[in-house]
Copies of this chain bind each other. A is one copy, B any other.
């Protein structure tokens, strides 16, 4: 059977090749975006899990929008207005996919920062959208470039990760947030604010969601993979009622609804008295890991490799000398037993690609990080 044209156009992902090797025991992986499995809040979930088998109603078909008590909690917790609604998704990845399917026709223009989240590139690729790339600065997207793009082209949506961007770790400044919201309003562009790392801030000051400045023009995607656990596959999309209703209609055909027992467990976890303490502990752990990796890199990196400090999230973006071949270097790294992701996979096109590695610091212990950096330095020494 011949593939649909949309799928034919998707190139096989190099990152999957890397990740499949990265799982072998003798490879230190800084490649994935995995939270630390030793610090999942399973103890806080245990009571809820133990009660599941006596709650038969959770095992019946449920509402497409989500488990009602969980939705009620989200409405209150995120202070959704009467004009807004929320939809529980099978991971925030599904939220993004539903958005693309509900709103994008082939050829519709979607703006993204470059580099950008690989899963979003895949989703928009499948939707046959036309991607407009905007350069990313230290404090967010290049505003001039963004306004020019909004002004000169018919843009349907702007997909962004303003808090601790994947892959770069960049966090948008308050000024950039306000300006982007204003541009989205002015040019009638829907902002898709993907916020999976927002709760993983380990230094600096929390900033408002960009969408808080343009709630009638934005959908927020939240993930519970980082603060709860990824295996339960739960995320949330919230925004204007009409938009969420469209997502719900697509979700009905996509999977009817997300796992209800998992939704009930998530609700109990989020409401657990010790959950804030768990989050604090997680932030502290990731800050330590980040600081440890950053210190190692600062001390050992050759002068032609740099990175910007981050205030949260899961990644360090290590810029490499212009002209070096990042895919080959990533393979060299694999050969010395360290998996990293080369920047090439995060760009829509080769043009404008900056050579870099994405280094994850949340899922490796200190000794592995130290070993990884020593090998990294060894490989980078070969780069002119």
Q: Could you list which residues of chain A lie within 8 angstroms of chain B, going by C-beta atoms?
A: 1-7, 10, 32, 34-35, 37-38, 40, 42-43, 45-46, 49-50, 52-54, 56-62, 89-91, 93-94, 97, 101-105, 119, 122-123, 126, 156-157, 190, 225, 229-233, 243, 246, 249-250, 252-262
A94: nearest residue on chain B (CB-CB)? B255
Q: Can you list 15 A-B pairs with a CB-CB distance of less than 8 A?
A: A35-B60, A42-B53, A45-B53, A49-B53, A50-B50, A59-B231, A60-B230, A61-B231, A62-B231, A90-B255, A233-B255, A233-B256, A233-B259, A233-B260, A261-B262
CA distance A46 to B232 in the complex (A): 18
CA distance A9 to B52 in the complex (A): 40
Chain B neighbourhood of A43, CB < 8 A: 53
CA distance A5 to B49 in the complex (A): 42
CA distance A232 to B261 in the complex (A): 7
In the assembled complex, the CB of A45 is this many whole angstroms from the nearest CB of chain B, namely 6
Chain B neighbourhood of A256, CB < 8 A: 91, 93, 119, 233
Chain B neighbourhood of A89, CB < 8 A: 255
Chain B neighbourhood of A1, CB < 8 A: 103, 156-157, 190, 243
Chain B neighbourhood of A190, CB < 8 A: 1
Q: Are B231 and A259 in contact (CB under 8 A)?
A: yes
Q: Are B34 and A56 in contact (CB under 8 A)?
A: no
In the A-B complex, the 4 residue pairs with the closest CB atoms: A59-B229, A59-B231, A231-B260, A90-B255
Q: Are A37 and B53 in contact (CB under 8 A)?
A: no
Q: Are A4 and B103 in contact (CB under 8 A)?
A: yes
A240: nearest residue on chain B (CB-CB)? B1
In the assembled complex, the CB of A226 is this many whole angstroms from the nearest CB of chain B, namely 11
Q: Are A40 and B61 in contact (CB under 8 A)?
A: no
Q: Can you add 5 more A-B contacts, CB < 8 Å, to A10-B249, A37-B59?
A: A2-B156, A46-B53, A93-B254, A122-B252, A126-B250
Query: SS class of chain A's interface: helix, strand, loop or mixed?
Result: helix
* In-complex Cβ contact of A119 among B54, B59, B253, B257 (8 A): B253
Contacts A90-B90, A253-B123, A255-B94 hold; do A2 and B34 have CB atoms under 8 A apart?
no
A43: nearest residue on chain B (CB-CB)? B53
* In-complex Cβ contact of A101 among B38, B126, B157 (8 A): B126
CA distance A180 to B60 in the complex (A): 34
CA distance A255 to B246 in the complex (A): 18
A190: nearest residue on chain B (CB-CB)? B1
In the assembled complex, the CB of A23 is this many whole angstroms from the nearest CB of chain B, namely 9
Contacts A59-B229, A231-B259 hold; do A253 and B101 have CB atoms under 8 A apart?
no
CA distance A253 to B126 in the complex (A): 8
* In-complex Cβ contact of A56 among B40, B62, B252 (8 A): B40
Chain B neighbourhood of A101, CB < 8 A: 4, 6-7, 126
Q: Are B61 and A42 in contact (CB under 8 A)?
A: no
In the assembled complex, the CB of A112 is this many whole angstroms from the nearest CB of chain B, namely 15
Q: Are A7 and B58 in contact (CB under 8 A)?
A: no
Contacts A2-B103, A103-B3, A262-B259 hold; do A40 and B59 have CB atoms under 8 A apart?
yes
CA distance A207 to B103 in the complex (A): 43
In the assembled complex, the CB of A248 is this many whole angstroms from the nearest CB of chain B, namely 10
In the assembled complex, the CB of A270 is this many whole angstroms from the nearest CB of chain B, namely 15
